[in-house]
Copies of this chain bind each other. A is one copy, B any other.
């Protein structure tokens, strides 16, 4: 169960005298949305509109809501400082605190000092304990600062590994607190360093070799399937923090230079059916980098990342395969 502390949101709503607010919660907390809305209404005195749309991050605060409300309460995501909103957005963390000491001890044999310590947003509360634990065992640690897309030291997003790359040359391995393997693989590809995962949902620390092989095989296959494509759809995310029009135009130029046709496409929530209806031969996504990788099995049309298109068109080598990132200079 995630801990959602509304106290600071309540005082902020009162301070800015918001009369009507929209409430965004991640899918895992949707069933609690009614209770959270009731709490905000009774304690902050504002009318609350519960947003039914899924919300996948601070990049996913719909600007159209500002036409209807005085402020937005976004639960369960870290702020992305580089995104500027027209009206106040109040970020409320949803964090679980899981004891990781046992797993941490087991991970020591897998790590090479100095160790760069990283955490995904939901697990930032565990970051300090893990650093302390390592140091108390005499292991040197380092924590990086990210670019302006990152709000907390040591934090990584699925679209931004700058807290890792900023300290990459000063560490010999990374320890990442987070569930799944997507972020860990992203860090590994971006830095070339070994990454060990402390997953609060499992008992054992793990390395990512198996996942790496599997995902790279999948990506290689997707690139191959796109080889015969003549007309590409280059997708620009509609979400406020994903609008990489400039990047999309560059990719379109690259495709035309390589004698392929391409159209620019705007998409909000990704959905294989939308790609099917448009009928392009293949797609390149400049929106959330996780979609092409995590949802590969859902898409019958090849859906490439920008770097995969570069490989397909011969301007990047397969050996230099990396996950896509959204960095401050791009948005």
Contact = CB atoms under 8 A, between A and B. Distances in A.
Q: How large is the interface on A (under 10, 10 to 19, 20 to 34, 35 or more residues)?
A: 35 or more
Contact of A68 (B34, B48, B266): B266
Per assembly, the copies of the chain total: 2
Contacts of A50: 233, 263-266, 278
A30 interface: yes
A278 B22 contact: no
A49 B278 contact: no
A70 B51 CA distance: 28
B22 A52 contact: no
B264 A34 contact: no
Interface in A56-115: 62-65, 67-68
Interface string A236-268: 101010010100010000000000000111111
A291 B274 CA distance: 20
Contacts of A265: 49-52
Interface in A258-293: 263-268, 274-275, 277-280
Contacts of A30: 277-279
A207 interface: no
A231 B50 CA distance: 14
Main DSSP-derived SS at the A contact region: mixed
A129 interface: no
A47 interface: yes
Contact of A277 (B31, B65, B231, B266): B31
Nearest to A280: B34
A224 interface: no
A278 B277 CA distance: 29
Nearest to A239: B64
Contacts of A38: 263
A207 B94 CA distance: 56
Contacts of A31: 277-279
Contact of A278 (B52, B63, B68, B268): B52
A33 to B, nearest CB: 6
A53 B268 contact: yes
A227 interface: no
A235 interface: yes
Interface string A138-165: 0000000000000000000000000000
A240 to B, nearest CB: 8
Contact of A64 (B37, B54, B63, B68): B63
Nearest to A267: B52
A50 B38 CA distance: 40
A280 B265 CA distance: 35
A235 B249 CA distance: 38
A128 interface: no
A203 interface: no
Contacts of A33: 263, 278
Given A64-B62, A263-B37, A235 B52 contact: yes
14 contacts: A30-B278, A30-B279, A34-B263, A34-B278, A34-B279, A49-B236, A49-B265, A50-B265, A50-B278, A52-B267, A53-B266, A53-B267, A63-B64, A64-B64
